[in-house]
Every structure is written in C-alpha cells, then in structure tokens.
Amino acid sequence: MSAYKIEAGTAQHIGSRPLQTDRAALYTAARSPGYVMAVLADGLGTAAAAEQVLHTSKQLLDEYRAGEKANVPRLYDLLRTVAQEAHDIIAMNPVATAEPQATMLVLILTPQGQAVWAHVGDSRLYRFTGEQCTGRTNDADYVQHLVDHDKLPLEAAKKHRSTRMLMNVLGNRQKQPFVTLGEQQGLKAGDAFLLASDGLWQYFTDAELAMVISRATPRQASEKLINKAIERAKGKGDNCTMAIIKLVAPPAEAPTYKVQQMDKAV
C-alpha cells in the first residue's frame, strides 16, 4: 500500500484587477502512470502567455514515458524543455497592445516519492512538512546569474524586477529565461506544496502559509488564504492564484473478520 495519498486543488481570485491573467492546473501523465504535475503561470497584461505555459506543460507531460525508476535528470530535461518551448512560442506570438509574458512554476511528483520542480519569475513554490516551511523558491540564483553571466553589479542585478530588459519571464524577447530547478526525495505523509502567484504570497509569512495548509484541506485552505489576501490588500489586490498539493496518510485498511460458525439456537 502507498505511504500516502494525494489531496490537491487549485483556486484563484481576480483581486481588484479588470482581468484574470493567472492560470493554474493539475495534470496526470498519459503514458507515465502515477506521475502528477502542478502548473502555475502568472501572465503579464494578458492571459495568452499563461495559457501557453499550461498547454505546453500538458502536451510534453503526455509525451513523457517514464522508466521503471524515476530519472531525475530526465525530468529536469523535461522541465527545461517546457520552459524553452513555451518561451519560444510566446515570443513568436504578436500582440498589438503588449508583448505577452508569463512566470512559470511546474512541479512533478513521481510514484517513487520524489518531487522535481522548475521556476521562472516571481511566482513561488513553497515546501512544507507539517506546520513548518522547509523551503521556497527565490531570486537568489537568478541574481547571481546576472552577476556572473551578464557581469552586472550586484545592486543593479537586485533591481531586475523594475528593469524590463532584465526581467526573468517567458516571452521576454530581449532575454532567454533562466530556469531554476529543484528536487525533494523521500516524500511522506505530512509533506505539502504550494504554488502561488505574487498576488497571494506577498500578503503572508512562510509560517502563516504553513499553518493554514497543514490544518485544512486544499479547498478549505485556499478559501481562507484568498479571503485573508483580499482583506490585507485593502482594495488594491493583484490576481491571486494557487495550487495546493498535500500528501496525507491513506485510510486504514478495513479489518478482516473470520466468520465464526455459530450453533443454531433451538
């Protein structure tokens, strides 16, 4: 019997924006039984780029054939290909009013108790064990990349969010996306993951997110987080989108009873 079962869900709220440009989805692999993918993309100005991230992710997952054992390097290659193909298609798509762009978070869970993820942009992936946040994605690797590869001064690299040319997103025609990869081995019941757009995570501490997700189902947790984000945004909230995956202990097996022969009462 599996050491855990998966509870998962997605949720979003438009905030105070006129359009919902975030997208999130959960997928299973057509040719790799037991593989689960969560995807979140935050579109900039339009939903077209975010929708392309989901489409490319699903298409490449369905084409993926896993071996008897999960191969992390192959999964890394899959995630890099998702980012590159989505970027290339988005960059080729002419839009009259704006250049479509999107962040990307893709998480894959394997039947062997592994999690592998890829990250582009300022959407965040959080990892939890119980009520503890055990890690999250950040911009540190990208900032160092700008310093090492582009030879930017550290202070200039730290200001990349405000500089369109340096923004790390899919669809930026001036710059290839920088993909950060990560993994976690030995998944167990009590572990959980949150994929969140900046319209959600900016209103919470790591500890708050861990507490809410550990104490509720994905649906209940998403409702609580959205309501609190709306309250804290005070009418100025961005699109708020998330995907939650929780690993929970499977239900106990029903006891088997031995039928006892009973004398018929006379």
Q: What is the pLDDT of residues 125-158, one digit of tens each?
A: 999 999 999 999 987 777 776 677 777 776 766 6
For residues 109 and 2, give the distance between their C-alpha atoms in angstroms, rounded to a whole number.
14
User: Which one is predicted more confidently, 242 or 253?
Assistant: 242
| Domains of the chain, CATH where assigned | 5-247 (3.60.40.10)
Q: Could you tell me if 222 and 244 are in contact, meaning their C-beta atoms sit under 8 angstroms apart?
A: yes
Confidence (pLDDT) at 145: 65
Rounded to an integer, the average pLDDT of 172-187 is 94
Q: At residue 129, what are phi and psi to the nearest 5 degrees? A: -125, 110
**Considering only CA atoms, which of 135, 118, 117 is closest in space to residue 126?**
135
Confidence (pLDDT) at 139: 78
DSSP string, 194-244: EEE-HHHHTT--HHHHHHHHHTS-HHHHHHHHHHHHHHHHTT-PPPEEEEE
pTM of the model: 0.89
Confidence (pLDDT) at 45: 84
pLDDT at 96 over 50: no
User: Which one is predicted more confidently, 34 or 140?
Assistant: 34
User: Which one is predicted more confidently, 228 or 147?
Assistant: 228
